Amino acid sequence: MALGALIAAYREDDSGSLRALLPIAGRTLLEYQVRCASAAGAAPIVVIVERIPIALNEVLQKLQQDNLPIVTVSDGAEAASRFQAGEMILLVADGLAPPPELLSTLVEEEEPAIVTVPDDFAHEKFERIDAMSRWSGVALVDSQTLGATASMLGDWDLQSTLLRRSLQGGARLVPIAAGVGEPLLAESSADLADLERNLIVASRGSRRDWASRYVLPLIEELATEKLIETRVSPDTLVQAALALSVGGAIAFATGWLWTGLALLVITTPLPLIAKRLAALRLRPMRPRSLVRRLLWPAAGAALVALGWWQSGHGSGWGALFAALTGAALAEAARVEGEKLEIPGEIWLFSRRNAILAALPFAAFGAWTSYLVALSLYAGASFFVVQHVNHRLATELTPR
């Protein structure tokens, strides 16, 4: 079934500006609403706004540049004309910050539905439906009801009138499900402060190695909070990580060992920060991105470059052999364990673990010892992965 979205953006906040322009997690509330609706599969996304100030126009242009199917209208009749006959419409109230999972759950309904919250003190800002419930700010309505409402609207508020007409038409009341985040109705930027903090916390990904779990969280957290207010894209951070990794390999190959290590250390939090920024902006990164996939071989090249330099400056062929062996075993462990859940996974070989493990060796100038230790580390990790693989194969083999 076709699905569109209708977002109201004409009410003002306490300062006289549009609620749609309230800041949240480095963007405006309208951007957040549109991306939530898009993630739920809505197209077109119609924004009804009576006037378009310069700031709002910039937001709309940015969304259109990102190829989001957004359309602006000035009244209910024009809004109704943007939807097909029989199309279901995701209605999002003015000033509402809905949890993405709430919209995703709602659009699975096959008939008009109105999500409700309890009629209590915590939800006193929400519009009352009856003695027991209030409107959560999201609903699923049909285009016929929208058209009928627009034709008799007059000076009445569109979203409230459409809500009442949907109720009269038999729309089902759906209490907000347990485990689904609470929608927030904002009247000022202060109302969104806690939600912004919760979004930042929720963006934390899984920590799959000891470097990201114990060493990098503070750096990652601070950088995410700073960069969220900027236009820096997640892809730019990953590209920077790749460029720095290549730079590290070149530095190792030319004998600038501390410079090479410093460049590689800088890369360790960048993909984590990029992933969090993408999650906060509701624009997940492509899992098969070529740049992200090149980070591993670039780090391997840096390892081999270090072995090559050491082999020609006092360590002999053993340093290069250790580097090549470590790189080969690390790649084998990565390929074999890519889709496995391995107990104690955080202690196994990873790009970040390998880079940060170099610091104590480098402090004493023990670069060749580092290469030998790294090859042993990679070999032990490969052994663990193979052991888990063998155990799973044994468990799945019919007796």
- Mean pLDDT score, 48-71: 89
Q: How far is the C-alpha of 328 from the C-alpha of 303, rounded, in Å?
A: 11
DSSP for residue 87: -
**Of 109-113, 220-224, 287-291, 352-356, minimum mean pLDDT range:** 287-291
Q: Which long-range contacts (CB under 8 A, 24 or more apart) does 365-374 make?
A: 367/257, 367/306, 367/310, 367/315, 367/319, 368/310, 368/315, 368/318, 368/319, 368/322, 371/303, 371/306, 371/307, 371/310, 371/319, 371/322, 371/323, 371/326, 372/318, 372/322, 374/303, 374/322, 374/323, 374/326
Of 24-38, 200-214, 266-280, 329-343, the one with minimum mean pLDDT is 200-214
Residue 394: pLDDT above 90?
no
Confidence of residue 228 (pLDDT cuts 50, 70, 90): confident
Q: Say what the pLDDT of residue 77 is.
A: 87
Say if residues 282 and 32 touch (Cβ distance below 8 Å). Answer: yes
Q: Report the pLDDT value the prediction gives residue 154, as an integer from 0 to 100.
A: 63
Q: 94, 47 in Cβ contact below 8 A?
A: no
Q: Is the pLDDT of residue 283 over 90?
A: no
For residues 74-89, average pLDDT: 89
| The most confident of 143-157, 202-216, 239-253, 336-350, by mean pLDDT | 239-253
**In the β-sheet with 88-92, what is the strand arrangement from edge to edge?**
70-73, 45-48, 3-8, 88-92, 133-142, 113-118, 172-175
CA angle 82, 83, 86 (to 5 degrees): 160
Of 69-78, 109-118, 144-153, minimum mean pLDDT range: 144-153
For 269-299, give one letter per residue: b (16+ CB within 10 A) or e: bbbbbbbbbbbbbbeebeeeeebbebbbebb
Segment 198-208 shows an average pLDDT of 75
Is 189 strand, coil or helix? Answer: helix
Cα separation, 93 vs 136, whole angstroms: 9
So what's the pLDDT on residue 282? 74
Q: Is the peptide bond before 44 cis (omega within 30 degrees of 0)?
A: yes
Q: For residue 301, how many C-alpha atoms fall within 13 Å in the half-sphere facing its CB?
A: 16
CB 44 within 8 A of CB 36: no
Q: Within 10 Å of residue 256's Cβ, how many Cβ atoms?
A: 16
| pLDDT single digits (tens) 308-351 | 999 999 889 999 999 999 999 999 999 888 777 888 889 999 99
Over range 198-205, report the average pLDDT: 73
Report the amino acid identity of residue 204: R
Query: What pLDDT score was predicted for residue 1?
Result: 60
Q: Which domains, and CATH codes, for the chain?
A: 3-191 (3.90.550.10), 208-396 (1.20.120.1760)
The pLDDT of 109-134, averaged and rounded, is 90
Name the pLDDT band for 152 (thresholds 50, 70, 90).
confident
Give the ranges where the chain is alpha helix by DSSP (H): 29-39, 54-65, 76-81, 100-106, 143-151, 158-168, 193-202, 210, 217-227, 234-253, 257-267, 270-280, 290-310, 317-337, 351-363, 367-396
Confidence band, pLDDT 50/70/90 cuts, at residue 47: very high
Token pair, residue 118, equals 């309890």
The segment with the largest mean pLDDT, out of 51-65, 141-155, 250-264, is 250-264
Whole-number pLDDT of residue 397: 65
For residue 316, the one-letter residue type is G
Q: What is the pLDDT of residue 309?
A: 96
Structure tokens that stand for 388 in this block: 């888990």
Please write the tens of the pLDDT for every residue from 29-39. Answer: 999 999 999 98
* Environment class of 262 (CB within 10 Å of its CB; exposed 0-12, middle 13-18, buried 19+): middle
In this predicted structure, the answer to whether residue 352 has a pLDDT above a threshold of 80 is yes
User: Could you report the per-residue pLDDT of 366-384, keeping only the tens digit for each?
Assistant: 999 999 999 999 999 999 9
Q: Taking residues 199-228, what's their average pLDDT?
A: 85
Share of the chain above pLDDT 90, in %: 48
Q: Which of 124, 129, 186, 132 is nearest to 160 (CA)?
A: 129
Nearest Cα residue to 237 out of 223, 216, 247: 223
